[in-house]
Chains A and B, each alone.
Chain A
């Protein structure tokens, strides 16, 4: 079967530093990683390939350095990797990102199942998976923690984690699934995998390959616009206790609990 995985390169969140003056993120010197849930998506794809045979293709839209993330997925066992990159793609919101990803999948065609992480650690919108599926007009499921595929039957059974419990659904193939981290335990790259990944070809796709014009993509093609960035308002008067004052601080917490009628 033909399996696709959508991945995003994100800043290594533990390393993100803030500029205290501007209140912006300092990107220089911070590492980038494959979005953690996308590794669960890749692992799900690899498990499916092991069970049913076939190929796993990984796709990522991003700047040229996204190649590093793609090589990591190859080292983990993906068969091929596509870097979807163009200066016109910059500044894309989830709609414009989904347009590019769905066009790419459409162009290459024939995927039986597409996996993605439920959301990325940077934007945290979780919107790209459902939007790509809607643009491809294929069924999809989110918050998936278990998936079983029946190729002969032409369906996938999934377990979705929702507020009240679990919803078990059957989706007709082809379909798109966004996965949670309890889906599986992502593997580690092998030495030979790493070696092969270093030499492997990363396939490149740009806007003209997808027959998309600059006004359709990136910031120009994005329905949403960030119009203002500011710091959250802080309206609380903090009482600060440390060292020998901690006993008074603990008494203060007890007082508050009484005031709130919790105690």
Chain B
């Protein structure tokens, strides 16, 4: 949509409902949307689409939403990218938001690009920062740049809406404030729910791959471990501290460990109390996934490893020496 042909206003947050509950990333994004909207004198709307909702949509007002657009339909019991993309492009056409932000989850990263293509506008994936440019009033979308140790700031100058996805845990959930709002049920043509994609089944897995995003401690290993067996040390340390096991992308690509453990731009963003990176050099893609941790400890044999620049404590040396020493020292403390 060419900017000069439409009068757009407001920030639209694409909320995420999983298993009939409002996922926390929704609150993170509503909080950020409030900040952006206040700089523009805009309203914040939050779109929720689902079959049933256990939570109260009104709960989003306290995080900064002025309006919740609630779409309920039997066909929305499970995520369906075909319906979601058509639905969002319809909502964009109907409400003409100036800015659309959405979670960079497997759902958001799937239907947002399709919706952006349908309405003909830009979309910036996996933003780590969002702000309003005081000069142009445009959305500044920051993300790690291609292949480099640098951040790129991206604008969508001539098309609307300006769209961005953001990884969960990138922004903090704001304090709840007393705000009023209203819930609106948009008019959606029934044909949007006719789909060439049918969800046959959802297999839930809550196994040992428990979400590392919820852990207070994450211990991650990289290629510096030299061999997959050495992940045992990472696991041992993580277990000792009740933490989760993270991994760098190269170790996941080498199939030393499964994808749910991957920390970074293309994996998960984690924000634990303590993040320990062992044998991870610290490519900007990895840093994007962990630099909001409260404290960071890095173990690496290369004194110039970029990971040391974001670490609170740098332990420089052979990890097969340092990790066992650290494990036995902590074990002493635990006992």
Question: Residues of A at under 8 Å CB distance from B?
Answer: 11, 13-14, 16, 18, 23-25, 36, 93-95, 98, 119, 122-135, 138-143, 157, 160-172, 175, 180-182, 222-232, 234, 236-243, 246-247, 249-254, 256-257, 260, 262-263
Q: Closest B-chain residue to A240, C-beta based?
A: B314
Interface contact A162-B156, CB-CB below 8 Å: no
User: Which of B32-40, B41-49, B63-71, B110-118 is near enough to bind chain A?
Assistant: B110-118
Per a CB cutoff under 8 Å, which of A95, A231, A250 touches B326? A250
Given A170-B198, A232-B150, A256-B312, 4 more pairs with CB closer than 8 A: A138-B196, A164-B18, A242-B316, A262-B217
Per a CB cutoff under 8 Å, which of A139, A239, A251 touches B197? A139
In B95-145, the 8 Å CB interface with A consists of 105-107, 109-118, 120-126, 140-141, 144-145
Interface contact A252-B273, CB-CB below 8 Å: no
Q: Closest A-chain residue to B160, C-beta based?
A: A223
Taking the nearest CB of chain B, how far is it from the CB of A147, in angstroms?
13
User: Which of B6-14, B50-58, B200-208 is near enough to bind chain A?
Assistant: B200-208
Taking the nearest CB of chain B, how far is it from the CB of A226, in angstroms?
5
Interface contact B315-A133, CB-CB below 8 Å: no
Interface contact A223-B156, CB-CB below 8 Å: yes
Interface contact A256-B159, CB-CB below 8 Å: no
Q: Closest A-chain residue to B199, C-beta based?
A: A169
Q: Closest A-chain residue to B121, C-beta based?
A: A223
By secondary structure, the B interface counts as: mixed
Given A161-B259, A226-B154, A260-B294: A94 and B329 within 8 A (CB)?
Answer: no
Cβ of B231 < 8 Å from any Cβ of A? Answer: no
Given A127-B123, A250-B326, A260-B295: A169 and B155 within 8 A (CB)?
Answer: no
Given A223-B122, A226-B154: A163 and B199 within 8 A (CB)?
Answer: no
Given A94-B113, A130-B114: A238 and B308 within 8 A (CB)?
Answer: yes
Q: Closest A-chain residue to B309, C-beta based?
A: A234
Please report the C-alpha to C-alpha distance between residue A157 and residue B202 in the assembled complex, in whole angstroms.
Answer: 13
Per a CB cutoff under 8 Å, which of B105, B106, B151, B265 touches A229? B151
Question: Residues of B at under 8 Å CB distance from A?
Answer: 18-19, 78-82, 85, 105-107, 109-118, 120-126, 140-141, 144-159, 195-206, 211, 216-217, 241-242, 250, 253, 255, 259, 265-266, 273-274, 276, 284-285, 287, 291, 294-297, 303, 308-317, 322, 325-326, 329-330, 333-334
Please report the C-alpha to C-alpha distance between residue A80 and residue B85 in the assembled complex, in whole angstroms.
Answer: 33
Taking the nearest CB of chain B, how far is it from the CB of A37, in angstroms?
9
Given A232-B284, A260-B294: A163 and B106 within 8 A (CB)?
Answer: yes
Interface contact B106-A238, CB-CB below 8 Å: no
CB-defined contacts of A140 to chain B, threshold 8 Å: 81-82, 114
Per a CB cutoff under 8 Å, which of A134, A157, A241 touches B315? A241
Interface contact B152-A226, CB-CB below 8 Å: yes
CB-defined contacts of B253 to chain A, threshold 8 Å: 36, 181
Given A133-B114, A225-B156, A263-B333: A253 and B313 within 8 A (CB)?
Answer: yes
Please report the C-alpha to C-alpha distance between residue A165 and residue B210 in the assembled complex, in whole angstroms.
Answer: 11
Q: Closest B-chain residue to A181, C-beta based?
A: B253
Per a CB cutoff under 8 Å, which of A25, A119, A237 touches B148? A25
Per a CB cutoff under 8 Å, which of A122, A134, A240 touches B146? A122
Q: Give 7 closest A-B pairs by Cβ, nearest first.
A: A223-B122, A224-B122, A134-B117, A242-B316, A130-B113, A127-B113, A165-B205
Interface contact A246-B322, CB-CB below 8 Å: yes
Most buried by B among A180, A223, A228, A246: A223
Interface contact A168-B113, CB-CB below 8 Å: no
CB-defined contacts of B115 to chain A, threshold 8 Å: 134
CB-defined contacts of B309 to chain A, threshold 8 Å: 234, 236, 238
Please report the C-alpha to C-alpha distance between residue A25 and residue B285 in the assembled complex, in whole angstroms.
Answer: 14
CB-defined contacts of A231 to chain B, threshold 8 Å: 149-151
Taking the nearest CB of chain B, how far is it from the CB of A9, in angstroms?
13
Q: Closest A-chain residue to B316, C-beta based?
A: A242
CB-defined contacts of A94 to chain B, threshold 8 Å: 113, 123, 125
A-B contact pairs, 28 of them (CB 8 A): A24-B148, A93-B122, A126-B109, A138-B196, A139-B197, A157-B200, A161-B259, A163-B106, A166-B203, A168-B200, A170-B197, A171-B196, A181-B253, A222-B122, A223-B120, A224-B122, A227-B140, A229-B145, A229-B153, A230-B151, A234-B310, A236-B312, A238-B314, A242-B315, A242-B317, A250-B326, A256-B295, A256-B313
Interface contact A166-B197, CB-CB below 8 Å: no
Please report the C-alpha to C-alpha distance between residue A172 and residue B158 in the assembled complex, in whole angstroms.
Answer: 35
Interface contact A164-B204, CB-CB below 8 Å: yes
Taking the nearest CB of chain A, how far is it from the CB of B144, in angstroms?
8
Interface contact B109-A142, CB-CB below 8 Å: yes
Interface contact B303-A242, CB-CB below 8 Å: yes
Given A162-B106, A167-B79: A134 and B113 within 8 A (CB)?
Answer: yes
